[in-house]
Structure 1
Amino acid sequence: MARVSRKNKATNITPIQVVIPTAFYIRSSHEDVTLDGTIGNQQALLENYISDKPDFQLIEKYIDNGYTGTSSSRPEFKRMLADIESNKIKCVIVKDLSRLGRNMLDTGFYTEKYFPQLGVRFISVTDNYDSYTLNNMDLTLPIKNMVNEAYSRDLSKKIKTQRQIAMKAGDYVKAVPYGYKRSVENPKRLVIDKEAADTVKRIFDMIDSGLSYRIVSNILNAEGIFVPIEYAKLKKGITNLEPNLNRCWNASRIVNILKQESYTGKTVQGKTVKYENVAMPVSPDQWIVVENTHEAIISQEVFDRIKEKLLSRKINAVPVENRKPNIFARKLFCKCCGVPLERKTKRKGVYSFVCPTAINNAIACDNLKQLPENKIINVLKEIFIMYLDVVVEQKVMVNNYLRQTKQTKQHLKNNLQKLGKDIEDIKRYQLRLYETFASGDINSLEYKEFKLNYEEKLADKQQEYHKVATNIDKEVKAFSLLSDFEIDLRHLITNNSLTKLDIDKYIKRIEYLAPNQIDVQFTFKDMLAELTEDVENAENSLLYATISRRY
């Protein structure tokens, strides 16, 4: 049969379509008041852009609403970067460069360094920029970034100027204080919110009559009166408010009410100024105060009298420079309600801690008894002494393990050296073996089996050696860590005082339950769990326990 030529036979080849995991990044700040700067319009523009481009597969939309472009500290922007670094996103599309950011240095870093290094394609639709195409306007990018940054600064200055003018005219541009609401006719003006205003007046009257912050807080909590933040939620229609022990009336909330001079019928604004996104306090003589802009809840006379009381308490308070640093800050919590304990003023030479919830709302938490600081330190030292014995015992166990495995390792090393010599002999013999195979004295199957046998034997021994060597290295580290830990414990036990650094290093959390129970969670597990996992009964040792003590 004649051969059929396939040279000119047509073949159907289906082109491979590459799909790019794509993300939209959309941003709108309070300054973006133009129609095309809104979230909805940006999203519509980007969706229209990829509608006829099947190679873009939209994976995620990252939307930062109300965040300025001058800072890269935006939640959705950070989430997008995390997804990019996990290879979830390979293309980012924005409406224009200003959406990515208005800071020239930051925006230039992402477009010129960050995206290219991670192989991420970047597209700015209205700027007609695509990092994938050869016809990029690379020279225009820095210029556009400079323009965007300059625009942001100019716009920010204009907005600040407008706010200053509005505040001087008596318009209320800040968050509305508790006790008021915005007027329906003129949202820039305040009107009385009767329910909240009655509470404000009661607070001033009770403090003016001589009641303490604690008593006033207890009265309000007992009556179930919402604190300002919860009251605001209720006014917004959020009715399923669950009890929150952190949201009860306390001394600081009472004082915040008492400091609001706007309750006298005047607007007091401009108390802070932003510098590099940080609010800095302004001298009182530079505040913007406008008289008689809204109805007063309390008289100026009452406010001034309360102000004098606040000032006298501040004068009589212990100066900051004379206070001992709180070594248990962010470590000490109420076991009943979970809130951080507050340190009270030093009395009889000793500081003490108390649950703020129990002080202000005994119904929510009954953990009322104060916890002296010296009691906590004594309990910790007792536990440190117990741990010292445990650490010494652990060191003995690790040391025994090291002695045993060291002999095993040397034995394996000797075997490997011998096996290595054997393999070298085999390799030399293989040259002659091949000649024997070529002459037909040995077949290919025998040749391969003979060679494979030695290779497998060597691989098994090498794997066994590596496992033992790895375990030894791990236990050497554990022994070193335990030795350092022992030195620290002896220092903590013999030292007369503990420092904040000591507490942060070894203590994760302390919980107090009246009248005399202290639970201590240590960081020892995090430090030693991985290193001592091969030591017998390590997981059941006291190194991993939460210690409960009564004093």
Structure 2
Amino acid sequence: MARKSRKQPVTETVVSTPVETGLYRTAAYLRLSSDDRRKQGDSLETQRNIIERYIAASPDLQLVECYADNDKTGTNFNRPAFQQMMVDIEAGKINCIIVKDLSRFGRNAIDAGYYLEKYLPAKGVRFIAVNDSHDSLTSDGGIMLPIKNILAESYALDIGRKCKAVQHQKMLDGKFLGNYAPYGYLKSPSDSGKLVIDPEIAPIVQQIFTWGADGETYNEIARRLHEHQIPTPSYHKRSKGLIKSEAIVGNGHWTRRTLSDMLADPVYVGHMVQGKMSVVAGRSVRVPSDQWITVPNTHEGLVSQELFDRVGRQMKRLAQQFTAKGTPAIPYSENLFRGKIYCAHCGGLMHRKRQNKDGTYWFRCETQQKYGKQACEVVSIREQDILNVLMVMLHQQNKLMTGHYQSLLRQHDTISEDTALVATRKDITQTKHLIQSLYENLVNDIITPEEYSQMKADYTEKLSQLTEQAGNIQEAKQQRRQTVEHYQTLTDAVTKTLADRKLTALLVEHPCRPH
């Protein structure tokens, strides 16, 4: 069953006029999907004209609002204008919906059936599909209504399969299907599936490949680009008006991922590689590399195959050197401060590094290394220095912790809590008996109906208060018990840490401070 969105959708509204008594407050609903744009008979203007002519010939209909979902699929009902129409139905603003045909209403047989056969009749809303000659006021739809919904859904599925087949064939033909051309290229004005060189960016891409072929690392290349104030691909596209959403622009920093993807992309040699992702059950999943669609020589390359291969060899060599260099002489120790140490200058997360395989660890800010000298200062701190400071703090807090724990034990009076809970539950039982006896008193004419109603309301209110009170006592008892257990665990951990002079993950994750 489709759910109504809580978001405020956008609707196309017609100026409302007062509705005379006896007239149906009518909503015209229009929908156009991207596939429908190629069909003249389904344009929004055509739909509106058909509906307006029908209303003009129907004296019992008066148009109140017009809701238009443009470029929205009919396979689901999560459409802004449709959801606003449902909101207005709930508010009693409209009691009739008119569409050009059933396919404009929706192409999902199950959800369409729910709205047409359950929801709208329950709300007393009349439904008219002009071209399908359906009017819920004069016809129950019979067997044809669900059949037409199924046909509409089948049509949508068939269109979807055909679109996928067309896209697959375009990939095989070497046509570019992405929303944005790769960095360094533009879509041809005469053929959006053809890539042409962007003369403004091409020299930058060629320089990046030259640096890579010379053996420079990703971080070194990124630092060079920042020093030359070269905008990232997403920032460049935004400056050209191609990207308008700030959510996908990023922070403007060149990253290892951006450069590694670029230097390994055959598109810069002139080959088209597509079909790397696929949609399965509504989710994007990565396709194995042996199933990618590769078409050679589809456009002019920015670099030679020889340069591209040399970059690949250099990146592989650097990766092997990094792996060999990073082979530990002894196992790495646990990083207790993962994700917890930040640079005081730039606010960036500091990374843990081991020095000379001797077990000495440092936390260093890598912002300057990644983005250039102007991005931050050289900041580092030895892990043992952090541990020493924390041990001193634990010594200072140990007495406070022990005192607070003893105080909690004294406050944790389970006897008084249990007594209060028993008394409250006793009052609940007595109140329930009083409510049950009221009816007998009413039948035996001991109390009047008015007295019965008033007394029952009073006892019911008292019962509700007592039930809430019992719940509060039980919850407070549980919370105090958990707090005592928490401090007992922390106190034991602090005592062991001070004895062993070894910090534990428990104390790092659960600071020793009163609740």
The TM-score range, normalised by the shorter chain, is 0.5 to 0.7
Q: 1:414 to 1:268 in 2, by over 3 A?
A: closer
Identity of aligned residues (%): 25
Q: Is the 8 A contact 1:358 1:367 kept in 2?
A: yes
User: Mind listing any 5+ residue stretches in structure 1 that lack a counterpart?
Assistant: 1-13, 435-447, 508-519, 521-540, 544-551
Q: 1:427 to 1:297 in 2, by over 3 A?
A: closer
Q: State the match for 1:133 in structure 2.
A: 137
Comparing 179-188 and 457-466, the one that deviates more:
457-466
Q: Is the 8 A contact 2:30 2:47 kept in 1?
A: no
1:289 aligned residue (287, 294, 317): 294
1:24 matched to 2:29? The reply is yes
Q: Secondary structure at 1:295's aligned position in 2?
A: coil
1:476 matched to 2:474? The reply is yes
Q: CA deviation at 1:189?
A: 1.6
Q: State the match for 1:361 in structure 2.
A: 371
2:259 aligned residue (254, 260, 263): 254
Q: What letter is aligned with 1:361?
A: Y
Q: CA deviation at 1:209?
A: 1.8
For residues 326-475 of structure 1, what are the structure 2 equivalents within 5 Å? 360-361=370-371, 363=374, 393=408, 396=411, 402=417, 409=424, 463=461, 466-475=464-473
Q: What letter is aligned with 2:224?
A: I
Comparing 113-122 and 468-477, the one that deviates more:
113-122
Q: CA deviation at 1:28?
A: 0.9
Q: State the match for 1:63 in structure 2.
A: 69
User: Take 1:343 and 1:226, find their aligned partners in 2: how far apart are those partners?
Assistant: 26
Q: Secondary structure at 2:200's aligned position in 1?
A: helix
1:184 matched to 2:189? The reply is yes
Q: Is the 8 A contact 2:184 2:198 kept in 1?
A: yes
Q: What letter is aligned with 2:293?
A: I
User: Take 2:68 and 2:363, find their aligned partners in 1: how far apart are those partners?
Assistant: 44
Q: State the match for 2:11 in structure 1.
A: none
1:147 matched to 2:154? The reply is no
User: Take 1:242 and 1:280, find their aligned partners in 2: how far apart are those partners?
Assistant: 21
Q: State the match for 1:161 in structure 2.
A: 165
Q: Is the 8 A contact 1:390 1:542 kept in 2?
A: no
User: Take 2:222 and 2:117, find their aligned partners in 1: how far apart are those partners?
Assistant: 57
Q: Is the 8 A contact 1:178 1:228 kept in 2?
A: yes
Q: State the match for 1:213 in structure 2.
A: 218
Q: State the match for 1:439 in structure 2.
A: none
Q: Is the 8 A contact 1:64 1:74 kept in 2?
A: no
Q: State the match for 2:3 in structure 1.
A: none
Q: CA deviation at 1:136?
A: 2.9
Q: Is the 8 A contact 2:187 2:195 kept in 1?
A: yes
Q: What letter is aligned with 2:371?
A: N
Q: Secondary structure at 1:188's aligned position in 2?
A: strand
Q: Is the 8 A contact 1:29 1:69 kept in 2?
A: no
Q: CA deviation at 1:238?
A: 7.7
Q: 1:419 to 1:149 in 2, by over 3 A?
A: closer
Q: CA deviation at 1:166?
A: 2.9
User: Take 2:360 and 2:101, find their aligned partners in 1: how far apart are those partners?
Assistant: 61
Q: How many residues align?
A: 468
Q: 1:136 to 1:29 in 2, by over 3 A?
A: farther
Comparing 109-118 and 209-218, the one that deviates more:
109-118
Q: CA deviation at 1:144?
A: 1.8
User: Take 1:293 and 1:325, find their aligned partners in 2: how far apart are those partners?
Assistant: 50
Q: State the match for 2:203 in structure 1.
A: 198
Q: What letter is aligned with 1:174?
A: G
What is the TM-score when the length of structure 1 is the normalising length? Answer: 0.62
Q: Secondary structure at 1:26's aligned position in 2?
A: strand
Q: CA deviation at 1:217?
A: 1.9
Q: CA deviation at 1:57?
A: 3.4
Q: Secondary structure at 2:163's aligned position in 1?
A: helix
Q: What letter is aligned with 2:370?
A: N
Q: 1:273 to 1:244 in 2, by over 3 A?
A: closer
Q: Is the 8 A contact 1:262 1:268 kept in 2?
A: yes
Q: Secondary structure at 1:189's aligned position in 2?
A: strand
Q: CA deviation at 1:264?
A: 0.8
Q: CA deviation at 1:174?
A: 2.5
